[in-house]
Amino acid sequence: MDTEWLTRDELAAWVRLVALVELLPGVLNAQLRQDAELTHFEYYVLAMLSEAEGSTLRMTELAALTNATLARLSHVVRRLQERGLVERFPCPEDGRATNARLTDVGRRTVEEAAPGHVAHVRRYVIDALTPEQVGQLTAIGDAVLARLDPAGAMRPMVQRYDGTADERAMP
């Protein structure tokens, strides 16, 4: 098999992307752990529930929105449930399915964590870019996601933030 090696420009772009992918989760996790005793993934689960109708989602839908396996999500939701942030109960429409619902304590937790999280997202990513670059980042994300996720599993999560009137979108 002949390998088409990366050009110098392609390699420069690639190593920067790898550095971002490695460093950004740690920065976001550190802030959320310090301010809210949450991991970034736990925050993400709470945020997805906070935006759902009735603050409730089937575990399978929540897994799809967060790109988690059901096993990983179940483990995280169990921890959140033990802290009183989430409750699980049988789905009324399908007794075989389980729903997760944000509790009042969970809503307060995610609402209190959101300003610090958004400030970190803004500080480390958004404010480092020009408005044109923010648009380019969106386009780059779409192009790469089309390859990584050809079935569009992440499309509902991504599109929920496209063209919304709410300027205070919670990442």
* pTM for the whole structure: 0.87
Domains of the chain: 23-124 (1.10.10.10)
d(CA 48, CA 69): 16
How much of the chain exceeds pLDDT 70, in percent?
Answer: 95
Model confidence band, residue 165 (pLDDT cutoffs 50, 70, 90): very low
Cβ neighbour number for residue 132 with a 10 Å cutoff? 8
Query: What's 4's DSSP letter?
Result: -
In the predicted structure, residue 35 carries a pLDDT above the cut 70: yes
80-110: pLDDT as tens digits: 999 999 999 999 988 899 999 999 999 999 9
For residue 49, which of 59, 40, 39, 37 has the smallest C-alpha distance? 59
124-161: pLDDT as tens digits: 999 999 999 999 999 999 999 999 999 988 887 788 78
In the predicted structure, residue 24 carries a pLDDT above the cut 60: yes
d(CA 43, CA 89): 20
d(CA 108, CA 114): 10
